[in-house]
Structure 1
Amino acid sequence: MSVGVAASAWEQRKLGELADSFSYGLNASATAYDGKNGYLRITDIDDSTRQFSKNDLTSPDADLSRCGDYRLSEGDIVFARTGASVGKTYIYQAKDGIAYFAGFLIRMRLKPDIDPCFVFQSTLGETYKRYVSITSQRSGQPGVNAEEYAECPVLMPLLTEQQAIGRFFSRLDSLITLHQRKQYLPFVR
């Protein structure tokens, strides 16, 4: 007697197979926030929530009319490529406003048939952390380049399952963040 399988088999893929491109960030200094154009740097990605921290917004000190290649689009995932933050990830959402990504970050733009939330959630798991830990070992400062990120393995279900899992974990992350914010609000009588 055989038991039916409710879900499809997951397939091991590499991040590079899921991406349209990997790009290095803009090499420009940060300047005072111009009120419109954000500049996402490694330090602007909150360590616990992985969201764009708006505490100390800056703008890139560059001619932005020539920097369109560095402007983030919905669903882009960025990776920290060097130092103590190597492996830290962030997924861009339009609610974060116009943002350009800085030089110590690598942007992965996914193919249209891949769910960005699912892939982002995969970068929060142990398999990804192990891969980054092993790959980033250098004689000097730890680092992972775009070619190495492209080789990172990830288990992938069908698109409908990716979307359901990605939405579930995104909602869970939002609830956790909301709960954490409530914990740190001062008690008001």
Structure 2
Amino acid sequence: MSNVRKQLPTEPEIRFKGYTDAWEQRKLGELGKVRSGIGFPASEQGGKEGIPFYKVSDMTTPGNEQEMISANNYVTTNQISRKKWKPIEDVPAIFFAKVGAAVLLNRKRLCRVPFLLDNNTMAYSMDKNVLDTRFTKALFETINLASLVQIGALPSYNARDIEKIKILLPNINEQRNVGILFQRLDNLIASNQRKVEALKKMKQALLQKMFI
């Protein structure tokens, strides 16, 4: 039996022309910071102005399929001061569920403006000096966060589990090119999804008007 370990690949199968350097193995904890959410009392919810306070359910709000554009709850600077909350100002960041059934859905969203998040969620703030925003968003789509789930009454994981994830990272210029490609694909997908939804609505209207 051979004791030779199989070497992991240091570059992807497909690359942009002109890039030949090996990708560097790093841990997410070396490239950014993980923040867990906080309690959000019902008495503080329902605001329409201020800083967004994201919950898991906000990921399903129309328009938030890729990035968190809107929230169902906003909080004022007065609320933030009174409750001693600390908004996540290190943006861009990746937002995702950390506990409950939503963890198994493995959804991630990009956040570009300061925000707060409830205690069922978590966010990864990236170091913009070493990580391209669009590349990191695409990278997180390849990470199966559900595989980190700890055995217990509720599926969950913690910040340390995220920080220990190993990734392969190209230089910042190659990151930008990869990120731009996947953003264009996301935009194309979103555009076609809107067309599909419009056609579904038209079909439903015709079914109601053309059948007795």
- TM-score category by the smaller chain? 0.7 to 0.9
Match of 2:118 in 1: 102
Give the gaps of 5 or more residues in structure 1: none
In the TM superposition, 1:166-185 aligns within 5 A as: 166-185=179-198
Match among 11, 29, 34 for residue 22 of structure 1: 34
2:100–2:154: 8 Å Cα contact kept in structure 1?
yes
- CA distance in structure 1 between the partners assigned to 2:122 and 2:46 by the alignment: 23
Deviation per residue, 1:20-66 (Å, 9 max, x gap): x2211231135223234322111111399343374x72225982234
Name the amino acid aligned to 1:27.
G
TM-score normalised over the length of structure 1: 0.79
TM-score normalised over the length of structure 2: 0.71
Name the amino acid aligned to 1:101.
L
Match among 101, 108, 112 for residue 128 of structure 2: 112
Deviation per residue, 1:62-108 (Å, 9 max, x gap): 822343x22455411123111122243211124xxx63222222222
In the TM superposition, 1:1-189 aligns within 5 A as: 6-19=19-32, 21-29=33-41, 31-46=45-60, 49-52=65-68, 54=70, 57-60=72-75, 63-65=79-81, 66-67=84-85, 69-86=86-103, 87-94=106-113, 99-113=115-129, 114-125=131-142, 128-129=143-144, 132-185=145-198, 186-187=201-202
Name the amino acid aligned to 2:38.
L
- Between the two proteins, the alignment pairs up a number of residues equal to 176
Name the amino acid aligned to 1:90.
R
Change (3 A) 1:64 1:139: closer
- CA distance in structure 1 between the partners assigned to 2:125 and 2:69 by the alignment: 21
Please give the root-mean-square deviation of Cα atoms over the aligned residues, in Å: 2.8
Deviation per residue, 1:7-26 (Å, 9 max, x gap): 3211222111111x221123
Change (3 A) 1:155 1:116: same
Larger Rg: 2
Deviation per residue, 1:110-167 (Å, 9 max, x gap): 2232112212211112xx11xx333204132111110000011222111111111112
Change (3 A) 1:29 1:134: same
> What SS is found at the alignment partner of 2:29?
helix
> What SS is found at the alignment partner of 1:45?
helix
- CA distance in structure 1 between the partners assigned to 2:147 and 2:88 by the alignment: 30
Greater shift, 79-88 or 169-178, is seen at 79-88
